[in-house]
Structure 1
Amino acid sequence: MIGHDLAGRYEILTRVGGGGMALVYKAHDVLLNRKVAVKVLRQQFVGDEEFIRRFRREAQSAAALSHPNVVSIYDVGQEDDIHYIVMEYVEGNNLNEIIQERAPLQTDEAIRIAVQICDALDHAHQNHIIHRDIKPHNILIGNNGRVKVTDFGIARAVTSSTITQTGSVVGSVHYFSPEHAKGINTGEKSDLYSLGIVLYQMLTAKLPFLGESPISVALKHLQEPFEEPRVVNPHIPQSVENVILKAMRKNPAERYGSAHEMLLDLDTCLRPDRLNEPRIQFIANHDMDETRIMPAIRGGAVAASSDGPSRTEPKAVVSDTTSVNLQDAEQEKKPKGWKKPVLVVSITLALLVLLLFGFKWVLAQLDPGEVNVPYVIGMTETDARTTLTEAGLRVKDPVTREFHKDIPKDVVFDQSKDNIRVKKGSFIELSVSDGPEMKELKNYVGQKLQSAKEELIAMGVAEERILVTEEHSEEEAGTILEQTPKDGEMFDPETAEVSFVVSMGRETVDMPDLTDMRLKDARSLLKSLELVLEEDDILYEASYLHEKDHVIRQDNFNPNDKVPKGSKVSITVSKGPPEDSKTYTFNIRISPATAGKASEVKIIYSDATGENIEGVKRTIDSTVDIPVTVILAPDTVARVTVLRDNQFMDTKEIRYDQIGAGGDSPNLTIPGDGETTPPPDTPDGDQQAQAEVDESNGENGAEGQEAGT
């Protein structure tokens, strides 16, 4: 159930408790964003249609209760064969845990708790709902001190099938009322009897009736008196003891008439004027089920009725009820001889002696003799049987077997009749440990680690004994890949270690910076890192800043991101300048500053691809032609600047709308010192072309030439 979304609304978080009929889980109501408790009916009861029908009806009746001391019912439903009740989740402890931890409680605290329980019962009884299973386990104490009574309704959803399965009356035998133990219909006063036992336990730290079996405890409820509370705990005020004595009367007629009457008594029992009130007295009842001492009936108490009509002599009745004849009494006054009586007495005594010795002789023949019962606690069952058999005793089968976390399996932890002498051949009862209670480990592979941890901790496995190792895999991070012990193996939650191999997700790599990298180089790099670049994940777009087939940007991962291996990468790649751009190439003819000496030439240009781009940097020792290519966007201007020996020589501007369809030609000449004419190898046609270009560039070109000179 852990991790299950019940009805698509209640996310089961962890198991918090359970009883004979249902399991209780802490859950999250995703619709209202609150914690709730979900009670799920055990599977063995889902086949009884009558039980299901009454379960629903009683749960709906309990939902009608609205009281601050009653756990609220939010929802009742069914999903497949899961029948559930959604109720208020109380953050705190149940009363049984508090009693086990620090009972006996202070009187005022116990009365405060009992008042709230009684108030809840009064409200329920007014709505014709009887709890029938009041016990500390069903009393929740919130962290704010508020008392909440739970399990209204489910206790009455019991049919003959449940009695057949359990073999006893359903309920908690230590808190049974006598009429409940008899198996007859129980009413409101049965709840008050159970509340009296709860108050008794809070104030004395013990139960009023204990026994070796549920049947023996039930019989004590019916027949035996309990030890009075003030005998166990003298600090209990008499007024409080009176409340317990009245609530726990075996005869329902002698108890409180209603929960409201008991509530009024609880409200006032700690008043100073009541603390030392007289002990409550009850008129002796004549319940035929109660065990009492009856006077013995003596043999001659009544004369035989058949002799009455035939006897006419008057009779006298003496103290031992023996009838004598008055005439015989008169004759006793006459003296008699003493020999005959003595003879009769002697013969009688002799016969008695012979009879006594004969009886002893017969007993001696029948008596097998006595033996000491060996102490076999701590032995294995086999050794204990052998020891008892050798001593002339027998083991009663079957032996009692119980789980014990501190006693090894098959070791005897209790025996009957230890350290006494018994008749040879007597039966000895043994109690044998089944060892720690083993549980079956379910399959957690594929589940989330946190969910598995919560479930194991709820089963009793300490968190430090849940061992986790991690490894990379294709599964989502936090998913269990392997477990030890394996699915279905039995383990002891108190001592066993549970190991999980948990996925860390896929192995990651650092995402490289692909910007301005050639596409084929980017493909190779990503492939070496086990990352995937598919053609559908490549977006092409025009770019002035990036050359064709160079990466413009990375779309889904940034450089240095941790990326799982096998992840798909998306990039944008340049397909070159836009179609409406223009490319213009022209030559710069430049000579060294001084003929015969080397000069350093640097050409810087700005166009649609960027500003102040260093296009050329070289050393010349003669006149050379250097081609310069610029790209222009519509309505823009490209600018080319020439430096020689780090001195500004000239600047040339090219406008988008000035670029014609003609071929490229040199259009910028920078002579050396003393040069006035182009070098001899320059054809006249080139000079004419240069002049035409200069003329087409307008005044800016002329100004650039003047600046160069």
Structure 2
Amino acid sequence: MGKILGSRYEIMEQIGAGGMAVVYRAKDLLLNRIVTVKVLRDQFAADEEFSARFRREAEAAAGLSHPNIVSIYDVGREGATQYIVLEYVEGHNLKEIIREQAPLPPERSLHIVRQIAQAIGHVHAHHIIHRDIKPHNILISDDDWARVTDFGIAQTDTAVTLTHTGGIVGSVHYLSPEQARGESSSEQSDLYSLGIILYELVTGKLPYDGETPIAVALKHLREHPLSPRQLNPRVSPSLEAIIMRAIAKDPNQRYPSAQAFLEDLDEIEEEQLRAKSTNLGSGLGNSDIEKTQVHQGPAAGILPKGGGGYPSAASAAEAAAARVDHAHNALAARVRNAILKHRFWVGLGAAAAILLAVLLFLSNYAKAEEVMVPAITGKTVAQATAILAQSHLSLAREINQENSDKVAKDLIIQQEPAQKTMLKTGGDVRIWVSKGPTNLTMPDVKDQDPPLSKDAALAMIKEVGFINNPIFTYVPSPLIPSGAVIDQSPAPDIPWPANGNIRITLSSGLPTLSMPNVIGTSSEEAESALTGAPYNLAVVIAIKDSSTYPRGVVIGTDPNPGDSVEQGTTATVIVSGGPGPQLPDNTALNAHGHKKSPKPH
């Protein structure tokens, strides 16, 4: 711990690990905020296929912006270490919640799954298939706000994952049948995985389990799961129908889109409201009216017969319409029986009572208490929901999103009606949520040939529309000319806020070293020392007469010993040309200080 990546992200502690990456909590020293850093494991960093996928899919996910998706801030490499920087979410993953609390109440399960479905719909709209939707990849905050993470980065732990040639296909307990067969993933594959999650939330059990990944995968292909209602009677027939359609083995029998899935979840809510309305009306009348009425369940038009396939979205819509007609017909029959079995005046009195109740309801609605709308701008959606609830108000179902250079991501920019406006209790407040600053595409200033100068890089960055001047740092380089660009952060083609900080690394030129002292050595020894590492100098030999040094001995250098010299430049070595020092008998010394042998006659 304490390691700093990219001169910016200080690793604080490990918070998770998977087969492909290790996850850390870290501090962004530049923006002074806590982030999540996911580091590719060393054994995959050297694999070009894994490295390319790690970067390519992270960059694709970085283009997504949604309240229920964990944001990606940066992608980087330091030496052999590759990493992704993500938004830090305080809370637990959904798998931990399932282990501790499942089965969850259907209402809470639907609340969580609705958010995941909205995120998946946003992902699919950007032509991305997650391929690994599972509770481990869903982060839940303390206020039950769900966020999807790990886009396209499947875990490779053999206890939970299958792989095939060409890529990782997903975690086996949440794996679609087509993925188990090695076929390509589709939007319906992600919705299948979401259906498995919903099954697990409401029952506390996985629909398919086994001793080995292969055994589980085969069950996805061949077996049918237990009915959720067999495991939890609180699951309604309609909710069971939604689950079973989502996990149909044939992709064509599943929901065609996340939006269609969400529409059926809406139908359940409307069904609950109709049930409450019917219960209010059933308190009037005689013994026949008060008898328990047994009706065909609302799921009758959705659930399969005889173990066959699950109907299409059109069939589900017809079933929904049939349920409404059935409810109307049932109510009409009950009123008709009451009139036939009771005297005219009793029936007339009941009708008058019904009419009076309706009039009273309309009158009370017209006189509904008005409350002052509280201020929720600058708050998160979860905070705004709690604040409005205190005033008996709620958020409108549709949440608008737009970019803002002034309001931080995920905070409310605008509300309608405005604060201090009077609104009837039970009313809805529309909101606009910030998607953060406008994102621009980071230009490539580091891979140009020839390398860009500081001014050229600055001009290219400004031309794209970035607001702040980059932060420039200098490092020596034996390859890149002085003043030219060596590196950049963020990397090229990364979506980056227009007001975000950009770091550019420039070359300060060749490394500067201290000239070694080779005086007194032979010319060969001096040349070997200076041309080798770390100096890599080009040596020029100059001969100069000397009566002090023997012939062939170095008597000086340019630069002088101890002076600065740039790596890879030229140095002059001055070598004695003799005659050198003389002995008393006028015999000269050689380069090693020994008496020269007399020449033969």
Instruction: Establish whether TM, by shorter chain, passes 0.5.
Output: no
Per the shorter chain, which TM-score range? Answer: 0.3 to 0.5
The structure carrying a bigger helix percent of its residues is 2
Q: What is the TM-score when the length of structure 1 is the normalising length?
A: 0.38
**Structure ranking higher on relative contact order (CA contacts 8 Å, 6+ apart):** 2
Q: What is the TM-score when the length of structure 2 is the normalising length?
A: 0.45
Larger radius of gyration: 1
